[in-house]
Structure 1
């Protein structure tokens, strides 16, 4: 699913109008009718609905929604908040039409204090501004938002909670923004929906198809996208009838240390469950018994004094992952540096290997082009050398790092961002908060290495790997809760995740 900036969405509105020969009013009616049907599906017959409409086209949407709700028998009150600000052409037209609805309750308050005379609501619809802002709300409109946030009603925002920008929202904790319980995004989610600093404002978001022109959508370029499971399913490579382990990839994981072998084993389980034909765990000699006992399906090689003979170990592998539970000793640093200089196959760098990169920035110059880095926010901040104040700032910095170093960067989070060396960013849309548990990232490392070993290209391995990882977490909730889920459940449910995606693949005809 493509993601577009607020400015680009406006261009798409214009292209839809031009290519379909309709008016701006027609498009508003189309969008509002779709929003009405979505809203009606959540309302109870007895709900008292108050629609807060602003002076722009978001307010126009709210006025049309109000009309349809009223005609459908709901108890609706409309509050047009413009405080002397002129209405947009379409909002003014819809306001004049709405006032023709006999019996419909509406009010045009002179100032925010007049809002206190409005009766109680079960549902408050925010159609003040949506994504139509270019500066923070102030004065009367800020007071209106504060009043809305005080109401003991369910708040549903149209497009975006009023006061929030579509992309960068800065770090002002005092900015006036509607705190929505739900947000109905028009056509596709805004980037703001995917960033942690906006969670308290957006609540749960869902997309409402408002009928923008399909040709315009497909042809409009963008560097942002959100991967759906349908899209991920098309990436799968079914096993050939005559497949054997030698043709299904050989994954090498350089991981583990005394006291941290769990990370190596979780990565190994992720790799095996993701389909690698062969797996070699390269571990410290004292840890060999743990590895071979806990993961008998894996081959094991060992090293002493936290150093390893890279050329011998890596000569037969198809992809290498390094970092989970590895430690950060001086000898490990030398080993990592040697690997970066000699690796001939795709490389995934995680955990302690990322921490070594952060502590020794000269290693960035030695990264093979196309390497895959999989940091969580803390690891990324250490590599960056500073702590960004917002998720947007971190994302921008991650894109800059990926482009400068020529690497893929999988920035883990609620909507993990798979960033390509050309600056494109593909967000993941599977998973849940219960996956925020120790070892979860190690499983992901194993999955990505496994897919690389099987011949998936680097971008697909990142995108499909994060999708499978999150989907496995979702399917684990058939037996577990978000609180009880552990990293081992992710590896254990990968088979179900693969099956789920295969069921979504388009039917192949010959």
Structure 2
């Protein structure tokens, strides 16, 4: 699904108004009905709802929602921020409709002294400013935001918490933004919703459809997307009756070192669970019995070293190569990784210590084969490119890295983001905090490798792997709490994850 900038969303709104056609006041009413429906299904009408409305369209939405909620016998109060100018257009019409209805207590906020006290058991609906805001809150809006953040009321933001920008907040004052418990965003999530420093401001966010015109959504280009099962299900081919293990590729996994054999084990199991026809795990001699016993489906290539990766087999027999989980960064391992890069395997995924070695030797980065997949966690990526002050800047660094070296970068975390050499960005929507556990990244590496070996296009392999990995983690929480989830649970639920994606 596409993620648009706030300017693009405004243009899509206007296209819908002109081409549907629909009056702008009626499109606002459509949005208000969706928000009101959510509130009705989530709130008791015994709780007072206090609406804070600004003078723009976000405020107009809030005024319309208040009128609808009052019709459903909710106790509502509305406070309109008064900057000394008369309301215009749709907000003015919705204020007039509220006054005519006569069921809602109306007030104005003209100064700090007129900001109402908010009871702890109330619900606040934030309709001060929408996603079109481009400057920090100050003056009276800042004072209102501070008062609401100091209250204990449940806060529901319309479209976006007031004060948060839709994309780049690198120069914003996040401490001035209203802290929502829920954000009900209209038609599309905003780019800023996918960045970790905004989690406490957004609370839980949900996308409410408001029927914007499908043709303009389809035709409007954007580099930003978020992953859905519908978009990746057709990337998983149906197996043919007369296919055999050779049909589905032969993967080489280079992993493990003394004391870190578990990483090789987890990645091997995940690779096999992802459908690869054959897997050879290249491991230190000391890991041989462990892998052969724990993963009998895997073949083993035994390194001359008892302790670490120092060499590799002829790559011609393998359809994809993965390296990194549990390798360590000893000098001999670094030399072997350099030789691997110089051999330029056609399909390559690098993780963990392979990335740490690259960070130690940035001069090797140009050796990365085109469309290689790198799967760093934030600290590993920071070692490669340097620190970023905020997630938006970090995204720009990730995009620049993908484009410079023509590689696919999978930056792991909540809403794992994938950047491609052609400038596209994909945010994941599956997964949970229970997956923040040792070995989870090794499992992802195995899934990516297994799909690559089956002749998936590299970007498709990354997208399907990330989505399935997160979904398997979500399925694992059906049997256990997030607190107790371990990486093996993800592997055990991969089969059901792929089944659900196909459905």
Tell me the TM-score normalised to structure 1 length: 0.95
* Segment drifting more, 117-126 vs 104-113: 117-126
Return the offset for 1:171: 6.3
Return the offset for 1:358: 0.6
Structure 1 residues 151-195: Cα deviation after superposition (integer angstroms, max 9, x where no partner): 221100000000100111126666411100000011011111110
d(CA) in 2 for partners of 1:303 and 1:18?
67
Residues 120 and 474 (structure 1), Cα distance of their counterparts in 2 relative to 1, 3 Å cut: closer
d(CA) in 1 for partners of 2:84 and 2:60?
16
Structure 1 residues 475-508: Cα deviation after superposition (integer angstroms, max 9, x where no partner): 11121110100011111111111111122xxxxx
* Segment drifting more, 164-173 vs 459-468: 164-173
1:506 maps to none
Residues 119 and 473 (structure 1), Cα distance of their counterparts in 2 relative to 1, 3 Å cut: closer
d(CA) in 1 for partners of 2:303 and 2:103?
82
d(CA) in 2 for partners of 1:258 and 1:120?
56
2:326 maps to 325
1:364 maps to 365
Residues 377 and 86 (structure 1), Cα distance of their counterparts in 2 relative to 1, 3 Å cut: farther
8 Å Cα contact 1:52/1:124 also seen in 2: yes
d(CA) in 2 for partners of 1:124 and 1:174?
19
1:507 maps to none
1:75 paired with 2:82, answer no
Residues 304 and 57 (structure 1), Cα distance of their counterparts in 2 relative to 1, 3 Å cut: same
Residue correspondence of structure 1 range 232-271 to structure 2 within 5 A: 232-271=232-271
1:161 maps to 161
Q: 5+ unaligned residues in a row in structure 1: which ranges?
A: 504-510
Return the offset for 1:345: 2.3
Residue 490 of structure 1 aligns to a residue in which SS?
helix
Return the offset for 1:307: 5.0
1:508 maps to none
Return the offset for 1:309: 4.5
d(CA) in 2 for partners of 1:266 and 1:500?
22
* Segment drifting more, 81-90 vs 182-191: 81-90
Structure 1 residues 412-436: Cα deviation after superposition (integer angstroms, max 9, x where no partner): 1100111111110011110000000
* Segment drifting more, 441-450 vs 493-502: 493-502
Residue 45 of structure 2 aligns to a residue in which SS?
coil
d(CA) in 1 for partners of 2:414 and 2:80?
36
1:147 paired with 2:129, answer no
Report the number of matched residues: 501
8 Å Cα contact 1:50/1:77 also seen in 2: yes
d(CA) in 1 for partners of 2:99 and 2:462?
54
Residue correspondence of structure 1 range 341-490 to structure 2 within 5 A: 341-384=342-385, 386-490=386-490
d(CA) in 1 for partners of 2:86 and 2:133?
15
d(CA) in 2 for partners of 1:14 and 1:465?
37
1:108 paired with 2:123, answer no
1:10 maps to 10
d(CA) in 2 for partners of 1:35 and 1:219?
27
Q: 5+ unaligned residues in a row in structure 2: which ranges?
A: none
Structure 1 residues 353-404: Cα deviation after superposition (integer angstroms, max 9, x where no partner): 00011110011111111111100100000000x2112121111110110011
d(CA) in 1 for partners of 2:459 and 2:117?
56
2:276 maps to 276
8 Å Cα contact 2:131/2:159 also seen in 1: yes
d(CA) in 1 for partners of 2:121 and 2:247?
63
d(CA) in 1 for partners of 2:273 and 2:47?
49
1:289 maps to 289
1:315 maps to 316
1:498 paired with 2:498, answer yes
Residue 242 of structure 1 aligns to a residue in which SS?
coil
Residue correspondence of structure 1 range 89-100 to structure 2 within 5 A: 89-100=89-100
